[in-house]
Amino acid sequence: MALLDVRDLKTYFKTDDGIVKAVDGVTFSIEKGRTLGIVGESGSGKSVTCLTIMGLNAKRNTITTGEALFKEQDLLGMGMRRLRQIRGNDIAMIFQDPMTSLNPVHKIGNQLTEAVLLHQDVTKKQARARALELLKAVGIPRAERRVDDYPHQFSGGMRQRVMIAMALINDPDLLIADEPTTALDVTTQAQILNLMNKLQEEFGSAIIIITHDLGVVAETADDVLVMYAAEVVEQGPVNQIFSRPHMPYTWGLLGSLPRLDAETERLVQITGQPPSLLRPPSGCRFHPRCPYVMDVCKQTDPPLKPVTGDIDHYAACHLDEETKDREATKLLAGMVAEARTG
Amino acid sequence: MIRYLIRRLLWALVLFFAVTVVTYVIFFLIPADPAQRACGQLQTQQCLEQAHHFLGLDRPVYVQYGKFFGRLLPFDVNGLAHGHSPIKMPSLGISFANRQQVNSIVGGAAPVTASLVFGGAVTWLLISIPIGILSALRPRSLLDRGAMMFVLIGISAHPVWIGLIFLYLFAFKVHIFPLGEYCNMINPPVGTSCGGPVQWFYHLILPWITFAILFAALYVRMIRANVIETLNEDYVRTARAKGAPESKVMRSHVLRNAMLPVVTMLGMDIALGLGGAIFTENVYDLPGLGRVLRLSLDNFDLPTTQGIVVFGTVAIIAFNLIVDLLYAAIDPRIRLS
């Protein structure tokens, strides 16, 4: 049994203009100690998926269906009291913007101990010791002194380390990181990713990492979920997604990845804008932007089908497998060739 | 910190200078002559000239201002030359209208205004904090819509009108409350009909509510907006993600941040009120600064007007300073330097 098993998750928001289908039938699961990367453009439903699992969407005007089984208990159906016991204790979350995710009027030490005291029956002193231990583990220099500092006295990268410390302080089984490096500069990004990898080995948590950066996925994830317009369009183990992508959207994402080892003249770009989730396109939602579009794409939405020859690799595309293999090989060969000539 | 205080006090001095000069200028721009008042029926040239001389109005304006400022200083330059002690009480001068020391006029009226303003502030906070928070938690609910209706009425209705309606309804028609009048809380003067804390409180209930309605409306709107904004902050989501119960999220994360601007507003509004809650005091016949100010304007009584302006200015400067110091204590992001 998987640690977290999400089945046919749908999150709809009622707005004045109509119903926005922010997540429309997402299914995935994650095992203990593994890392799942969820990739996609802004507005593809990555964050909402995770906020829904945590029950953090506003209740008003939100419709949620499906199941999210965490240790065989449905997170979506359970009462608030039980959910609160799980939040921050069994499942913890790191948010995108460390500059705004910490409360400016409380000392970071108190924000960390709050998380401990909410879930563990320990004294304030023990909680503080635990907070200090975690601050050291995430590499805050002079942690003994900084524990009584306020968030504004920390840099962005340091604040994200504090957020990570706060998330890991109760030894969660699952850590959800929503674009943990997006707001940080590139060198800090690498440090934070290394830190997360290191801590995963240490604490053994499963991680869901949400990102729009395939580079981050390549560096951290075991499995990948590619989302487009509220749906999963491709999923599988990371090496298969990178070696044999079977969906034109994934090709677009891979092609738009800048590479240091190749002198690419121009990055491939996916033309057009992500579709409105208020009125998504008919058939395959990617068809208006797809260079391989066929008539069938406009009428029927392709289901996620297993990719022959691969294990646990699924893609949603009407193209026949030969074409997909040929185009994927071409794309990757091009990238490799560029790498060689460069 | 000390440097900050010194800088602030120097600025306060500049501000004080500007405000008092403006009061003088406005007073002398008005084509009215206090001497005419002083002479009453006897409007002879001789009387007017005597009155002018007696009130010091025959001197140039800058000399009059200089004398006013000299009286305000806590030390006496002339005294030193004559061998007296140079330390003296700052004086606001003597009233044109009734020859009383303005110090004692302001000193007698200030407790009345302070009673009204501080009690009023408590009243409007008691009304606006719960309503503001509740309507922020349930936007577009019946309570929220009702609160917004109250805000609209509270902002639109004039205190004089509210006061008259209250007096008519609750004092004249139904005898629940007294028809105006003020009762001293401690040491009521001989000959007054009432006194003591109970009477003081009872006589101030209607004035408090009248004075508080406008501010209550403004504060409901402000608190509601602040709480709604704070509820959408990322750190509130972080607190929920930690597993904090909603009551703790509200108390420790939302309200602590949402109430910060309220402190600033409160300091400024109380200080402003201390300069005289003119409408409420006049409707309820409370002998506070606002009523004294209106009477002094009617009498062209410059020293009294100026005395109340000085008092109000000092109150505003003092409260702004208090708010700044308080802010540094409650908001860790602000350090005074």
All residues of chain B having their beta carbon less than 8 Å from the beta carbon of residue A102 are 235, 238
Concatenating the DSSP letter of every residue in A225-283 gives: EEEETTEEEEEEEHHHHHHS--SHHHHHHHHT---TTS--SS-----S-PPPSSSPPSS
Mean pLDDT of A239-258: 87
**Nearest by Cα to A236 from A325, A247, A228:** A247
All residues of chain B having their beta carbon less than 8 Å from the beta carbon of residue A85 are 243
**CB-nearest partner of B245 from A84, A95, A150:** A84
Cβ neighbours for B263, distance < 8 A, ≥ 6 positions apart: B323, B326, B327, B330
**Cβ contact (<8 Å) for A115 and B242?**
yes
Q: Which of A86, A103, A114, A152 to substitute to test the interface with B, most B CBs within 10 Å?
A: A103
CB B289 within 8 A of CB B313: no
The Cα A34–Cα A221 span in angstroms is 8
Strand order in the sheet with A62-70: A18-30, A4-15, A62-70, A73-74
H or E segment and range at residue A6: strand A4-15
| 3-state percent helix, strand, coil for chain B, nearest multiple of 5 | 70, 0, 25
Q: Tell me: the pLDDT tens digits for B128-152?
A: 999 999 999 988 899 999 999 999 9
Distances (CA, A) of A204 to A32, A158, B189: 8, 23, 79
H or E segment and range at residue A29: strand A18-30
Please say if the pLDDT value at position A177 is more than 70.
Answer: yes
**Nearest by Cα to A291 from A267, A265, A269:** A269
Q: Which of A94, A101, A108, A162 to substitute to test the interface with B, most B CBs within 10 Å?
A: A101
Q: Tell me: the pLDDT tens digits for B74-92?
A: 877 666 667 667 777 888 8
Vertex B17: Cα angle to B12 and B23 (nearest 5)? 125
**Cβ contact (<8 Å) for B234 and A97?**
yes
Q: Which of A47, A57, A105, A154 to substitute to test the interface with B, most B CBs within 10 Å?
A: A105
| Structural domains of chain B, with CATH | 32-91 (no CATH), 102-330 (1.10.3720.10)
A236 token code pair: 């599988």
What integer pLDDT is reported at residue B131 of this predicted model? 95
The residue of chain A with its CA nearest to that of B238 is: A101
The Cα B280–Cα A108 span in angstroms is 47
**CB-nearest partner of B253 from A103, A118, A163:** A103
**Cβ contact (<8 Å) for A103 and B257?**
yes
**Cβ contact (<8 Å) for A87 and B253?**
no
What integer pLDDT is reported at residue B63 of this predicted model? 87
**CB-nearest partner of B238 from A85, A95, A105:** A95
pLDDT band at A54 (very low <50, low <70, confident <90, very high): very high
**Cβ contact (<8 Å) for A105 and B242?**
no
B171 token code pair: 């004092």
CB A9 within 8 A of CB A197: no
B112 three-state secondary structure: helix
Please say if the pLDDT value at position A221 is more than 80.
Answer: yes
Give A282→chain B minimum CA distance, Å: 34
Concatenating the DSSP letter of every residue in A61-130 gives: TEEEEEEEEETTEETTTS-HHHHHHHBTTTEEEE-S-TTTSS-TTS-HHHHHHHHHHHHS---HHHHHHH
The Cα A324–Cα A332 span in angstroms is 12
Q: What is the ipTM of this complex?
A: 0.88
Start-to-end C-alpha separation, chain B: 6
**Cβ contact (<8 Å) for B252 and A118?**
no
Please say if the pLDDT value at position A339 is more than 60.
Answer: no
**CB-nearest partner of A88 from B241, B257, B330:** B241
Give A202→chain B minimum CA distance, Å: 21
The residue of chain B with its CA nearest to that of A119 is: B243
All residues of chain B having their beta carbon less than 8 Å from the beta carbon of residue A166 are 238, 242
What integer pLDDT is reported at residue B140 of this predicted model? 86
Q: Tell me: the pLDDT tens digits for A74-124?
A: 999 899 999 999 999 999 999 988 889 999 999 999 999 999 999 999 999
**Cβ contact (<8 Å) for B238 and A105?**
no
Give B232→chain A minimum CA distance, Å: 10
Task: Pinpoint the alpha helices (H) of B232-301.
Answer: 234-241, 246-248, 256-258, 260-274, 278-283, 289-298
Give A203→chain B minimum CA distance, Å: 18
All residues of chain A having their beta carbon less than 8 Å from the beta carbon of residue B252 are 106, 114
B327 token code pair: 């802010």
**Cβ contact (<8 Å) for B235 and A102?**
yes
The Cα A34–Cα A51 span in angstroms is 20
| Structural domains of chain A, with CATH | 4-226 (3.40.50.300), 242-341 (no CATH)
Q: Tell me: the pLDDT tens digits for B156-215?
A: 999 999 999 999 999 999 988 888 788 888 777 766 677 788 889 999 999 999 999 999
H or E segment and range at residue A305: strand A305-306
B106 three-state secondary structure: helix
| Mean pLDDT across chain A | 89
Half-sphere exposure of B27 (CA within 13 A, CB side): 25
**Cβ contact (<8 Å) for B333 and A152?**
yes
Please enumerate residues of A whose Cβ is less than 8 A from a Cβ of B: 54, 56, 84-89, 92-93, 95, 97, 100-107, 114-115, 118-119, 150, 152, 163, 166
Give A183→chain B minimum CA distance, Å: 14
All residues of chain B having their beta carbon less than 8 Å from the beta carbon of residue A107 are 332
Give B234→chain A minimum CA distance, Å: 5
CB B245 within 8 A of CB B185: no
What integer pLDDT is reported at residue A342 of this predicted model? 45
Please say if the pLDDT value at position A262 is more than 60.
Answer: no
Of all residues in chain A, the percent with pLDDT exceeding 70 is: 95
Residue B225 vs residue B192, higher pLDDT: B225
Q: Strand A91-94 relative to strand A4-15: parallel, antiparallel, unpaired?
A: unpaired
H or E segment and range at residue B48: helix B45-55
All residues of chain B having their beta carbon less than 8 Å from the beta carbon of residue A101 are 234-235, 237-238
Mean pLDDT of B230-247: 94
CB A40 within 8 A of CB A46: yes
- Does this model's pTM top 0.90? My answer is no
**Cβ contact (<8 Å) for A93 and B241?**
yes
**Cβ contact (<8 Å) for A100 and B235?**
yes
All residues of chain A having their beta carbon less than 8 Å from the beta carbon of residue B330 are 105
**CB-nearest partner of B238 from A84, A102, A152:** A102
**Nearest by Cα to B109 from B311, B252, B283, B259:** B311
Q: Tell me: the pLDDT tens digits for B40-85?
A: 777 788 888 888 888 888 888 888 888 888 888 887 766 666 766 7
**CB-nearest partner of A87 from B242, B260, B333:** B242
**Cβ contact (<8 Å) for A104 and B332?**
yes
The Cα A205–Cα A207 span in angstroms is 6
All residues of chain A having their beta carbon less than 8 Å from the beta carbon of residue B243 are 84-89, 115, 118-119
Q: Which long-range contacts (CB under 8 A, 24 or more apart) does B130-136 make?
A: B131/B220, B132/B219, B132/B220, B132/B221, B132/B222, B132/B223, B132/B224, B132/B226, B132/B227, B133/B223, B133/B224, B133/B227, B133/B250, B133/B255, B135/B220, B135/B224, B136/B223, B136/B224, B136/B225, B136/B226, B136/B227, B136/B228, B136/B231
Concatenating the DSSP letter of every residue in B285-312 gives: T--SHHHHHHHHHHTT-HHHHHHHHHHH
Please say if the pLDDT value at position A214 is more than 60.
Answer: yes
